Each structure stands twice: as C-alpha cells, then as structure tokens.
Chain A
C-alpha cells in the first residue's frame, strides 16, 4: 500500500461536495482511504497527522490524499478532474449488481472478471438470468467449473472459461483480442494467446475468423470433459458463416479425447485439430486450415532455414525465453522437446523439469511470465511489461545466456507499447529472437513494433514457432559443439 497526495491549485470546492468525492474515491477498488480537502492550516495538520507529510499548499488549493494499492492510487491521482466533475444531469448511476443491470436492459453475455472467490457465484447468477458467460476470472474451483458447465448445458448456454482470456463473438472481441477481419474460419480454443496468434496469422494471410470461442484452460480435462468445447463446436457447425472449425488445445484427458473424437466424426463441417504440446504448432495448423478453405499459404508461414549464429563465447550455452503468452511458452517447450532438448519452466510441459525456484533460471529456461507466481497481485505481463523487464535484466546479467527468446502480444487490453517496455535494455551484442502477435489494425501497430525490434538488432520471426525453431537450432548447435 502507498500514500500519495495530489494537488489542484486555486480550486475552491464546497467542502461537503469534497466529502462526496472522497467517499467515491475510497469506494473505488484498491483504494483504502481517501480525503479531499482544501489546504487550510487545520486540514494540513490533519493530513500531516495521517502520515501524508507537510504539504506546500494554501487554503484555496485542493488536496486529494490517497492510500491504497499502487496502481489504483496512481489511476485516481492521474485523473482528478474526472472525479471532481459534477455528474451529468439525470445520468443514471451504474447498477451495483447484475440483477439491477438487467432490470433496465436485457442482455446476452455477461463478461465476468471479478476475483476468483466470487466469480462462480456471479457466473451462476448470469446463467440463471439466461446469459452466456465469458469468464475471465481464474482461481475458480474445478467443482464450480463442472457445475457451472452442467448448468449452462441444461439451459442451452455456454460458459467460456474460467481463465478464458480471449473470444471473438459476432464481430466483438472479448478480453485480449486483435483487429482481425471476419472470414470463414471458426475457432474453438482452450488457449488464449494460442487463439490470438492463430487469428492474427489467418488475418495476415488474407483470410478471416467467423468466431473464436474460448473454453477456458481446463475444459478438456476429464472432469469437465470438454463441455464448452463441444458446445462451441455445435454452434460453429450450425453457423452459416463458418466453413471450417479449428479446435486449439493442449492434449485433452482420456474421457474428453474420446468424446471429442466422436463429435468430430459426426461433424458436418471439416474440423482441424491443433494439439499443442507435441508436433503440432499454431502456424502449422494455420497453414493446414488455409489449404482446406482454398486460401494460398503465404511464404511467411513456411519456415525457412534458421540463420546461423556466430560469435558466441564458450560460456554462452543457454536459451532463456520470457513469454507473455502462456501458450507460446508451452509451444516453445514442445518444439524443444521434439528435438530431444530439455527445458526448465515454471509452467512445464509434461516431461519437462519444473524450476525449483522460479526466480532462478537453470539451463534452457522458458518462463510463462503470466503464471500465478509471477502475476499474484500484479498486472499481467501483456498489460504491463515491468515485471518481465526486471526478469530480463537479471537474465542479461547471466554470462551463460546465449539467446533470449521473447514474444510480444498486441491488441486490446495489452500495453500501449509492448516492445518499448524492454527495448532499451536489449544489449547490441546479444542474440535476441522474437515474434510479434498482432495485426496492422491493432492500436500498437504490428509494423511499428516489428521495425522497432529490428532497429535494435532483434531477429524478428513471423510466427512464435519460427522464433522457437531458431532458438532450438542454436541450442542443437551448442549441444553438438560440446
């Protein structure tokens, strides 16, 4: 928690009005306490007594004193005018509950991103009200997920999640999405960044996505048995705009595998499966899919020969990957694994060793920077790259590092300049491989981000898999050489 004051000079406002403002601020998530006062001597003494220190303000200056979570405090302090603005006459206050919201307007989909402990209850209420649910929240119990999805099935609704970061529905992007044109390819995916990269590559190849139905990371485990995946397939099968269905996932549990196989058999539309963790890669699946719908596979999707890396010192032996996209970390491990290479990770692929101490890299290490231990209480690396930057600095100080592998995810909810967040610390001499997941329509601009990386000497690959192949080839060379 931090304490911070912000001052607006020569802003006299009614003191009781200010009490209302302070109360609204204090009610804002992440704010523990707030005061809004004029800088009279008495008020200054009060603030000093509360630990805000001596302030250089006068009785016509407005002081806002905040205590709370750093991000929340900064957000409030950065936008005081909005808090002080009188309300729009007659503007209805935002409803406080789903029930209140639905009294004034019928709706179709509830987007739920409240803390995990409360998420299941909100999702249940949404289903009971006849809404589909996009459940971004994580830390929802398996038991709750199973019961929610059974409930949804009974009502003919879908629960996308929990832990679902991305979906494209009827042209609307939910969660972390990219500017992707509409087209004949329908996606059902248990992987957020997997769906993001798939959709971006489809778009860059000139085709498009009809819909992308997220299912949440655990949907295909045996207990859940692919409930949302199957519901998604049903919907896409019946959707006139969808010509082909792509199912993106890690390998399902045995029960789900059987159910899925049965369903795919009976499906009236062609189905492409991309099972990450083995030989399948996202870009490979994109290529297969494009061929199925008769779209020419562009050259950037076809992996070429990896450029050779020269000038490595003898002690430089290890590849370190720092991923914002969990799925891309997983895919990179699979690529290394297929080549017989061992990779340590905080989110290990089956068969790969877990890092004993997540803060301490060992050998080749691929980190999912969005995983629990890193994200706890802090923003996701896609939203704010500060934590990844700090870890990158530590890795760059390790003389055993030969190659660094990075991913950059653009699109809605991602930070304004993912590349800029780490660019200045990348040393010229070091070999850095990267991929950028995005399109020219994203606010961050794919071209701009790629050029910035290339300008810093980073080797940019058109897909995450290709960047991983490059690192794999370096790793193989290093292994041969020893």
Chain B
C-alpha cells in the first residue's frame, strides 16, 4: 500500500470511531476521585503545556483562584508566590482525559462531569462552565460559584445522574442541533433539554429542599450549562481516535491563552503549537480590542469532534451573532467539508437540508486548501481579575497544521536514503 492509501485507510478508521462514539453522562464527581493522575498540589489547565512564566494573565488569575479554592494559600499574593516558586504542578487537561473551558483550571476538589464513551469504554471529564473564575477572576464572588458547584450542584447532579443510570448525550445533542444549538457558543436548547431531564429526578431525590431548589435554578438558568457536557462528550469521542498509525486526523485543538496547540492521531503524544491568535469578535460595552486576551480554552474539542464552528451552518441564532447570511452558512459548511474526512450521519443541520456536519479534520486538507477550521468562542481579558468580555470567531494558526504535516512527512514518508 502506498503512503496515500495507508493514510486513507487510517483516516477512515478514525472517522469510523468518531461515528461510533456513544457518549453517556454517568456521574458528576470530585476530580480527585475520577481523573486519572489527579493529586494534591496539581492544577490541570487548558491548552498545550505552559509554564507559570509564560502563562497569560487570565490563566494565572484562574490558577490563583484554584490555590485559594483548595486552601493552599490564604490570599492571592501568597498564591502567586507559591506558583512563581514552582510549588504547584501545572499540567494540560488533555493529558488526563480531561477538558476545561477558558482557563480550564481543575484541582482535586473540583467536581467534574464524567462521560463514558460506551462504544469504547473510555471516560472523559470536564469541569463546570461559569463566567468568572475560568476567565481569571479570583475574587470571593468567583470562588463562591466554585464552592456552590462543589457543595450543592455537583453532588445533587451526580446523584440524579447515577439514579437515572446515566444520560445518553448523543441523541440529546442531535436533537439540540435541530433546535438551533451548535454545541459550543450556543447551547441554550441542549441546556434546557438537560435541565428538563434531571428536574423530576432532582425533585424526587430526597436531598434537602434548599439544595434541590438551588440546583434546579442553576440548571434551568444557565445558558452555557451544556457546554461542559458537550466538551466532555467530544473529548470522550476523540480519545479512542488517538494513536491510529498513519492517520492525519486532528484529535485535539486546545489553547491556553499563550499558545494554540493541536494533536494528531498518527503523531500521538506530540503537540504542534503556535502563538494563540486574537479572537475577532464583539466585545461587551466598555471593553476594547487591546483589552482582549488571546484565544483560550479546551472548548475547541467541540470543533475537533465536528460540532461548534462545524455546525455553524445550521445554527441561525449564532449565525446572526456572526453577522452571517445563509450564503455565509453555506460557505462555512463548504469550507469545513473541504478540510474534513466526511460528514456525520448523526449530527444533522435542518437549515442546510439536514446535511451532516463535517467531521474529522484532516491536516493534509487544511494545508492543501489553505483553510483552517472555524471556531466560535468567548473572549477573556488579557489580565487576571475580570470575567467574560466578549465572544467571536477565531481561526487556529495555520502554522500548527503545517508543523504537524511536516512532522508527519518526516515520520511516515519513505526516504530514498533510508
């Protein structure tokens, strides 16, 4: 078989595994209990590996927040000093079958969604999505939200999910796509479907009424609730695709606010990074371009799995946000199709005549067509101490893909002098 054929076969296998994925929410539990390799004095973060020295302001702020949340430091100054002295380990979420939005910081006592891919038996984890700490805010207000999740909502939802025997996420996602969600920046429908599903179970849970009420309010009024679930589902979908020899399919796209990194199936274990790009977007009133931080978060795992920006074509609500028209929608779909292995048979877009979302980003096609994937995402401030400041579209740096392609060619091409 020629190399081209080997790649073709490998990519078909990668695609097959993505299609076969069956992500099911099975639990909500503390990271220490479920995340492989979690330990004390470890902060998991979004994006490729990064040192404290190189970490961006918002992610530093989030890390400080985690030190305070865990009680490793009494105040921000002490936390910062500890981190600067290297007393706290910093590792990417992706290395631990985990993903996190924006700064994506996770520590032992952080409760996480637990999603199992029933088709392959692997599990993936994601922390809750909120609007403050993950954007670099380490104030009391921000930490209060983390504590409520740890003490009230996480445990309540965990119990509910376990008593239901788990919640299959694929059918829920498929339904939500047909209701106008794209599973990254627009998850209103899926969040509602989820809230509806757990409400009766929560009501009958026997937990303290205040906790039930608080959790019902939380799930029913959180427009980004489902993002954590869609990220975990996407991660659970993509992990079995890692390490397929000769496959050029992207298994992860992740940013830490300093660098944008991708991982490729046939080049397992390596990161291909480039400086994190600016998000071109709409900023909330009072914020200016120069306030914006660079692209951040593991949420690009949704695009990696064929959702988010890849489902933009069918999401009229988010399309308005992008100022697009139906012609734009068709253009996005055409572009994503051009760089992917195939179309999902499950995730369909009614607005585009039920066309399936493009799935399986192929680094060869990205470089050939000179087209990078579309990601729609939120914007954090450059510096710590702020919450969300806007949202918009971002394109990964082509450099990540050209680096990966060069490496792939080095590893796999037959050389005359070998």
Interface, chain A (partner B; CB < 8 A): 13-20, 42, 46, 86-93, 95-97, 100
Please tell me which one of the listed residues A20, A88, A91 contacts residue B324 in the complex, with CB atoms under 8 A apart: A20
Q: Which residues of A contact B282 (CB under 8 A)?
A: 15-16
- Which residues of the other chain, B, contact A19 by a CB distance below 8 angstroms? 280-281, 323, 392-393
Q: Which B residues fall within an 8 A CB radius of A? A: 280-282, 288-289, 321-328, 330-331, 334, 338, 369, 392-393
A42 to B291, CA, bound (A): 12
**Pick the contact of A20 from B288, B289, B328, B338 — CB < 8 Å?**
B328
Nearest Cβ on chain A to B332's Cβ, whole angstroms:
9
Residues of chain A with a CB closer than 8 A to B288's CB: 42
A46's closest neighbor in chain B, by CB? B289
Point out the residues of chain A lying under 8 angstroms from B328, CB to CB.
20, 87
Most buried by B among A13, A93, A95: A93
The answer to whether B289 and A16 touch across the interface, beta carbons within 8 angstroms, is no
By beta carbon, the residue of chain B nearest A87 is B327
Q: Kindly list the 9 A-B residue pairs having the minimum CB-CB distance in the complex, ordered from nearest.
A: A87-B327, A17-B323, A16-B323, A14-B323, A93-B331, A87-B325, A86-B325, A19-B280, A91-B327
Report A256 CB to chain B, min CB distance, Å: 37
Distance from A299 Cβ to chain B, minimum over Cβ atoms (Å) = 57
Q: Is the CB of B325 within 8 A of A16?
A: no
Please, how many angstroms separate the alpha-carbon atoms of A89 and B325 in the complex?
Answer: 8
Query: In the complex, what residues of A have CB within 8 A of residue B325's CB?
Result: 86-87, 89
Which residues of chain B are within 8 angstroms of A87 by Cβ–Cβ distance? 325-328, 330-331
Contact B327–A16 (Cβ < 8 Å): no
Whether the Cβ atoms of A89 and B326 lie closer than 8 Å is yes
Residues from chain B with Cβ under 8 Å of A96 in the complex: 334, 338, 369
Chain A residue contacts of B334, Cβ below 8 A: 93, 95-96, 100
Given contacts A42-B289, A93-B334, A96-B334, contact A20 B327 (CB under 8 A): no
Provide 18 A-B residue pairs closer than 8 Å at the C-beta atoms, listed in order of the A residue.
Answer: A15-B282, A15-B323, A16-B282, A16-B321, A87-B325, A87-B326, A87-B327, A87-B328, A87-B330, A88-B327, A89-B325, A89-B326, A90-B330, A91-B327, A92-B330, A93-B330, A93-B331, A96-B369
Min Cβ gap A395→B in Å is 44
Report chain A residues within 8 Å CB of B338.
96-97, 100
Q: How far is the CA of A93 from the CA of B289 in the complex (A)?
A: 31
Query: Are A16 and B326 interface neighbours, CB within 8 A?
Result: no
Nearest B-chain residue to A43, judged by Cβ: B289
- B-side contacts of A93, CB under 8 Å: 327, 330-331, 334
Question: Which residues from B are CB-within-8-Å of A100?
Answer: 334, 338
Q: How far, in Å, is A11 (CB) from chain B's closest CB?
A: 14
Q: Which residues of A contact B326 (CB under 8 A)?
A: 87, 89-90
Other-chain contact of B330, A13, A86, A91 (Cβ < 8 Å): A91
A14 vs B392: C-alpha distance when bound (angstroms): 13
Check A18 against B330 for contact (C-beta < 8 Å): no
Q: In the bound complex, how far is the Cα of B281 from the Cα of A20, in angstroms?
A: 11
Q: Please, which residues of chain B bring their CB within 8 A of the CB of A86?
A: 325, 327
Give the CA-CA distance A14 to B321 in the complex, in Å: 9
B342 → A minimal CB distance (Å)? 15
Which residue of A20, A42, A88, A91 contacts B323 across the interface (Cβ within 8 Å)? A20
Q: Which residues of A contact B322 (CB under 8 A)?
A: 16-17, 20
A14 CA to B393 CA, complexed, in Å? 14
Q: Contact check, B280 vs A17: say whether CB atoms are below 8 A apart.
A: no
Chain A residue contacts of B281, Cβ below 8 A: 16, 19
Q: How far is the CA of A14 from the CA of B330 in the complex (A)?
A: 20
Given contacts A42-B289, A86-B327, 20 further A-B contacts (CB under 8 A): A15-B323, A16-B280, A16-B282, A16-B321, A16-B322, A17-B322, A17-B324, A19-B392, A46-B289, A87-B326, A88-B327, A89-B325, A91-B330, A92-B330, A93-B330, A93-B331, A96-B369, A97-B338, A100-B334, A100-B338
Residues in A neighbouring B327, C-beta threshold 8 A = 86-91, 93
Q: How far is the CA of A92 from the CA of B352 in the complex (A)?
A: 11
Contacts of B331 in A (CB 8 A): 87, 93
Closest to B290 in A: A42
With both beta carbons as reference points, the residue of chain B lying nearest to A17 in the complex is identified as B323
A90: chain B residues within 8 A (beta carbon): 326-327, 330
User: Given the complex, which residues of B lie within 8 Å of A42, measured CB to CB?
Assistant: 288-289
Docked CA distance A89–B326 (Å)? 6
A18 (CB) vs chain B CBs: closest residue:
B323
> A19 vs B392: C-alpha distance in the bound complex, in angstroms?
10
Distance in angstroms between the alpha carbons of A46 and B46 in the assembled complex: 30
Smallest CB–CB gap between A154 and chain B, Å? Answer: 23
- Shortest C-beta distance, A103 to chain B (Å), equals 11
Assembled-state Cα–Cα distance A176/B240 (Å): 57
Q: How far is the CA of A89 from the CA of B282 in the complex (A)?
A: 25
The docked-state distance in angstroms from the alpha carbon of A427 to that of B369 is 53
Interchain CA distance A14-B328 in the complex, whole Å: 14
Q: Is the CB of A16 within 8 A of B393?
A: yes
Please give, as numbers and ranges, the residues of chain A lying within 8 Å of B280 by CB-CB distance. 16, 19
